[in-house]
Structure 1
Amino acid sequence: MNQENSSESDKQIKRIDAHYISHEIQHLLHFDKGFPFTFKEVLLRPGKAVREYLRENREKYVKPIVFLIFAAVIYTFIIHLFHIEVLIFNINGFSGTLQWEHNIDTEVINKWIDSHVGYSALIIGFFMAIWTKIFFYRKGYNIFEIFVLLSYVFGVFFIVLLFFLLLSKLTGLLIITKIGVILLQIYFVGAIGQFFGEKNILNYGKSLICLFLGIVTYKYSLILLAYLIHLI
Structure 2
Amino acid sequence: MDKGSIQCKNCGHHFDSNFCNQCGQKADTYRITWTEVLHHLPHALFHIDSGFFFTLKELATRPGHTIREYLEGRRKPHFSPFLMLVLLGGLTTILFVHFHLPTIFASIRLDQLEQEHSTIAHKYFALRMLVFVTVCSLGDSLFFRRQDYTFPEMFVANTFIFCGVSAIQLLSIPVMVMAKQSTAHMAISMGIIGLVMVYLVWSRVQFFNLNSGMYLLRIILAVLLYLAAVIAIGHFIIRPLFAVSTNLHS
Give the TM-score taking structure 2 as reference length.
Answer: 0.66
Identify which range, 114-123 or 46-55, moves more after superposition. Answer: 114-123
Residues 124 and 218 in structure 1, CA contact (< 8 A), matched pair in contact too:
no
Q: Is residue 169 of structure 2 the alignment partner of residue 161 of structure 1?
A: yes
Structure 2: runs of 5+ lacking an equivalent? 14-24
Residues 124 and 215 in structure 1, CA contact (< 8 A), matched pair in contact too:
no
Q: Residue 11 of structure 2 aligns to a residue in which SS?
A: helix
Match of 2:203 among 175, 188, 191: 191
Deviations 1:38-75 (A, max 9, x none): 11211222111100111041011111101111111221
Q: Is residue 74 of structure 2 the alignment partner of residue 66 of structure 1?
A: no
Higher helix share: 1
Q: Give the C-alpha shift of residue 167 in structure 1.
A: 2.2
Partners in 2 of 1:91 and 1:168 — Cα distance?
Answer: 14
The amino acid across from 1:207 in the alignment is: V
Identify which range, 57-66 or 145-154, moves more after superposition. Answer: 145-154
Deviations 1:199-223 (A, max 9, x none): 1323333333234334435654437
Identify which range, 154-163 or 54-63, moves more after superposition. Answer: 154-163
What's 1:178 paired with? 190
The amino acid across from 1:149 in the alignment is: A
Alignment CA distance shift 1:193-1:205 (3 Å) = farther
**1:131-170 matches, cutoff 5 A:** 131-170=139-178
Give the TM-score taking structure 1 as reference length.
Answer: 0.71
Greater relative CO, 1 or 2 (CA 8 Å, sep 6+) = 1
Deviations 1:148-187 (A, max 9, x none): 1211121121222122221232366523343122211221
Q: Work out the number of aligned pairs and report it.
A: 213
Q: Residue 86 of structure 1 aligns to a residue in which SS?
A: coil
Q: Is residue 38 of structure 2 the alignment partner of residue 22 of structure 1?
A: no
Residues 42 and 48 in structure 2, CA contact (< 8 A), matched pair in contact too:
no
Q: Is residue 134 of structure 2 the alignment partner of residue 115 of structure 1?
A: no
Residues 58 and 66 in structure 2, CA contact (< 8 A), matched pair in contact too:
yes
Partners in 1 of 2:240 and 2:100 — Cα distance?
Answer: 28
Residues 125 and 214 in structure 1, CA contact (< 8 A), matched pair in contact too:
no
Match of 1:54 among 54, 61, 71: 71
Question: Percent sequence identity over matched residues?
Answer: 20
Partners in 2 of 1:176 and 1:224 — Cα distance?
Answer: 25
Q: Is residue 228 of structure 2 the alignment partner of residue 212 of structure 1?
A: yes
**1:33-112 matches, cutoff 5 A:** 33-81=50-98, 83-90=99-106
Higher alpha-carbon Rg = 2
Partners in 2 of 1:183 and 1:197 — Cα distance?
Answer: 21
